[in-house]
Amino acid sequence: MIDCPNAEMRDRLPELAMERLGPHERVALVAHVAECAACAAEFALLRECRRVLGRSVRVDSARVARAVAAQTLHGGTARRTPGSRAWAWSGWRAAAAVLVIAGGASLTTIYAIRGRRDAGSEHSSTLSSVPLENAIAGPSTLAKASASAAVQDATEHPTRPSAEAADTELSIGGGVSDLSEVELRALLDEMGKVDALPPAEPEPVIVRVTSAPPGDTE
Amino acid sequence: MTEVTRSDDGATDLELIARWRAGDEHAATQLVERHAPALARFASSVGVRDDIEELVQDTFVRAFQSLEGFRGDSSFRTWLFTIERRLLLDRHRAQRRRRDRVEVREGDIATEYDALDSMMADEAGARVRTAVEQLSPMQREVFTLRVTEGLSYKEIAGVVGTTEGAARVHYHNAMRAVKEFLDD
């Protein structure tokens, strides 16, 4: 099949097939098609294509209109109905946001716990500030020193939540710092009553040599 | 070519859109009834077989949800074609992903629609349909929009995302391919 060399006329054939040309243009093109075998053949093919491809596909327009109305709001604003893609997408975003927040809170908690543990180790490293006799006396004395510091702190700031109280909520490891002030006191009292508990460090042995008073020799 | 279509009461698309924005639900119904057949025809012409009504519905929902983006540079129908085509591409990508996961069996290729279509269509019509189905996806879209919907090359370029000149070339290449198929 040979194409018409008049591209301008040929380009307008679909409009002629759809009857969308103005009267003057239509007359000119109809005259051209009457004389041009290539355009006549193409015009016939276009009409056949329109007949075949343009067959109406069964769509219930009223039902579509109802569904569209149900999924949209007046004024062109979207109504996100459950089940729609937009709704599902916003749901995913909300879920992702919750995950991010939950993850952030978990990390904050973990870091807080680690921070307290580190602080605890720092606390033990501050033993140098504890009087030497207490340090030598063993762990029970250290605990007493810490407890006394906590008691002092609680006495000075009665409304401020103590670090121990916060640890009660957050800590998962368990330790002396997890105990409340009352529990710590009870523990210290119990420890003080246990005589069999060996000291961690050997007690300093102090040998006192005293001279006997005169006349006390036997 | 921007076609100005009017409803029974003489309202243009733009007037109906304005009425719908003002809260007139009937205006939306009129717009749907006016353009749904063309959207369904286009979907069928480019090879959609299943859920055409759902596709048309999704197209209108998407269109009404983003009416702020419609500036009226093209006709409302052309804009709808653009949205429908994007939805078609999304659907095609999703189907391709599913196909990658699910092994395609030989029996799945021939659909019930194909069989019925072949039986019921007359021979000449079936040949034309087959000729169009041989075209590349881009050629088929351009050809369908030009022949059955009467869109200008400029409008087609807007729908398929190409230039006016490229749309013209695609159309003429498609026409030549159809002729050659029918001449064989």
User: B52 — contact with chain A (CB < 8 Å)?
Assistant: yes
Contact B37 A76 (CB under 8 A): no
Q: A102-111, A167-176, B11-20: which has the highest mean pLDDT?
A: B11-20
- Average pLDDT estimate for B148-170: 93
Q: In this predicted structure, what is the pLDDT of residue A206?
A: 63
| pLDDT tens-digit map of B72-100 | 888 899 999 999 999 988 888 887 777 66
- Output DSSP code: residue B73: S
What residues have CB less than 8 Å from A115, skipping those under 6 apart?
none
Q: How far is CA A59 from CA A129, A189, B107, in A?
A: 87, 87, 28
Rounded-to-integer distance, Cα A176 and Cα B77, Å:
75
The whole model's pTM is what?
0.54
CB contact at 8 A, A2 and A40: no
Closest CA to B56 of B27, B36, B77: B36
Contact B128 A52 (CB under 8 A): yes
Least confident of A19-33, A180-194, B92-106, B164-178: B92-106
Rounded-to-integer distance, Cα A177 and Cα A112, Å:
14
- What residues of chain B lie within 8 A of the CB of A17, using their CB? 147
CB contact at 8 A, A52 and B118: no
Asked if residue A82 has pLDDT above 90, the reply is: no
Considering only CB atoms, A76 lies closest to which of B39, B64, B132, namely B64
Contact A64 B60 (CB under 8 A): yes
Record the tokens describing residue A207, joined without a space: 């040998």
Record the tokens describing residue B30, joined without a space: 């009129």
Q: In this predicted structure, what is the pLDDT of residue B1?
A: 44
Least confident of A5-14, A130-139, B36-45: A130-139
Rg for chain A, CA atoms, rounded: 47
- Average pLDDT estimate for A177-201: 64
Q: Residue holding tokens 């973990």?
A: A110
CB contact at 8 A, B92 and B55: no
Rounded-to-integer distance, Cα B180 and Cα B184, Å:
6
Q: In this predicted structure, what is the pLDDT of residue A76?
A: 44
Contact B183 A1 (CB under 8 A): yes
Rounded-to-integer distance, Cα B136 and Cα B39, Å:
20
Q: Residue holding tokens 């881009």?
A: B138
Q: In this predicted structure, what is the pLDDT of residue A141?
A: 43
Asked if residue A40 has pLDDT above 60, the reply is: yes
More confident: A99 or A12: A12
**Phi and psi at residue A65, to the nearest 5°:** -60, -40
Alpha helices in B13-111 (DSSP H): 13-21, 25-45, 52-65, 76-101, 106-109
Which element (helix H / strand E) includes A168?
helix A163-170
| pLDDT tens-digit map of B43-82 | 888 888 778 899 999 999 999 888 887 878 888 999 999 9
Asked if residue A135 has pLDDT above 50, the reply is: no
Q: Residue holding tokens 């050809």?
A: B143
User: B41 — contact with chain A (CB < 8 Å)?
Assistant: yes
Contact B57 A60 (CB under 8 A): no
* Secondary structure of residue B15 in the 3-state scheme: helix
Q: Taking all residues of chain B, what is their mean pLDDT, rounded to a whole number?
A: 82
- Chain B closest-CA separation from residue A8 CA (Å): 12
Query: Hey, what amino acid is at A140?
Result: S
Considering only CB atoms, B56 lies closest to which of A49, A59, A69, namely A59
CA–centroid distance for B16 within its chain = 22
Q: In this predicted structure, what is the pLDDT of residue A42?
A: 93
**Phi and psi at residue A78, to the nearest 5°:** -70, 135
Q: In this predicted structure, what is the pLDDT of residue A166?
A: 42
Asked if residue B33 has pLDDT above 50, the reply is: yes
Q: Which of A52, A79, A80 to mutate to test the interface with B (most CBs of B within 10 A)?
A: A52
Q: How many CB atoms lie within 10 A of CB A132?
A: 9
User: B40 — contact with chain A (CB < 8 Å)?
Assistant: yes
Considering only CB atoms, B41 lies closest to which of A15, A57, A76, namely A57
Rounded-to-integer distance, Cα B83 and Cα B42, Å:
12
Asked if residue A149 has pLDDT above 90, the reply is: no
Asked if residue A212 has pLDDT above 70, the reply is: no
- Average pLDDT estimate for A170-174: 46
Closest CA to B129 of B50, B47, B36: B47
- Output DSSP code: residue A201: S
The two most distant CA atoms of chain B are separated, in Å, by 56
- What residues of chain A lie within 8 A of the CB of B156, using their CB? none
Q: In this predicted structure, what is the pLDDT of residue B104?
A: 43
Rounded-to-integer distance, Cα B91 and Cα B55, Å:
9
User: B168 — contact with chain A (CB < 8 Å)?
Assistant: yes
Q: How many CB atoms lie within 10 A of CB B130?
A: 14
Contact B67 A62 (CB under 8 A): no
Record the tokens describing residue A52, joined without a space: 């075949």
Name the closest residue on chain B to residue A8, using Cα atoms: B168
What residues have CB less than 8 Å from A66, skipping those under 6 apart?
B29
Q: How many CB atoms lie within 10 A of CB B15?
A: 14
Q: In this predicted structure, what is the pLDDT of residue A113?
A: 76
Asked if residue A136 has pLDDT above 50, the reply is: no
Q: In this predicted structure, what is the pLDDT of residue A175?
A: 54
Q: In this predicted structure, what is the pLDDT of residue B110?
A: 43
- Output DSSP code: residue B47: T
Q: A128-142, A181-195, B123-137: which has the highest mean pLDDT?
A: B123-137
- Chain B closest-CA separation from residue A32 CA (Å): 19
- What residues of chain B lie within 8 A of the CB of A37, using their CB? none
* Secondary structure of residue A179 in the 3-state scheme: coil
